[in-house]
Structures are given as structure tokens and as C-alpha cells.
Amino acid sequence: MLIVISAVSFLAHGLGCLFSSYLKQEFERYELTSQRIWVGVLQISAGVGLLAGIRLPWLGRSAAAGLAVMMLVAVGVRYKIKDSLLQTMPALFYVVLNAYLCWAGY
């Protein structure tokens, strides 16, 4: 169930990175405008990798590790731009969730 939660979250957020005007503004706020498309594609790919990991655990673990690192970077970005702890909590949650999936979830 945790695999599906993470996968669906990143598939949705990845698509949002590509098509949402709100997320376009957020990437401007993060000072990462040029990275928005790349982040979206990586998140979609990793979400698919998490689901494929149900059959190919090595792929799921790799995707989860990549997402954990990506979310750790997101925490750093949030710290850099002085977001509140409440604004940073989703990224922290996904660091922990994907680290867990990488090491124990498959």
C-alpha cells in the first residue's frame, strides 16, 4: 500500500510539474524554473519505477532511492528559501517514506 501511495503521489506531482500553472509559480519561488520539466519527468519515471518494482524489486528499490534523494534535495531547497516547517513537512515525509521503501519495502 505504501508503494502505491508514493507512486500515485509522484505520478500526480510529476504531471503537475509539466502542466500546472501553480507548480510553475512554485518552481519560480524555488529559483528552479529551468529544472521544472526535468523534475516532472524524473518524478513520473520514478513513480512508474515504484509500480514496476512490485514485479522487479531492484527497480522499485532504485526508484525509491532516487525519490528519497530528490526529496532530500527538496528539503534543502525549502530550507534555503526559508519555508516554514509546515511547508517542508511533505518533502520530509517523502524522504522517510521512500527511504523506507528502498531498504525495507520491497
**3-class SS string, 55-91:** CCHHHHHHHHHHHHHHHHHHHHHHHHCCCCHHHHHHH
C-alpha cell at 44: 513520473
Model-level pTM? 0.93
Instruction: Tell me the residue range of the domain where 31 lies.
Output: 2-103
Task: Provide the domain count of the chain.
Answer: 1
The Cα 48–Cα 60 span in angstroms is 9
In tens, the pLDDT along 17-73 reads: 999 999 999 999 999 999 999 999 999 999 999 999 999 999 999 999 999 999 999
Closest listed residue to residue 68, CA positions, set 57, 56, 60: 60
Please say whether the beta carbons of 3 and 104 come within 8 A: no
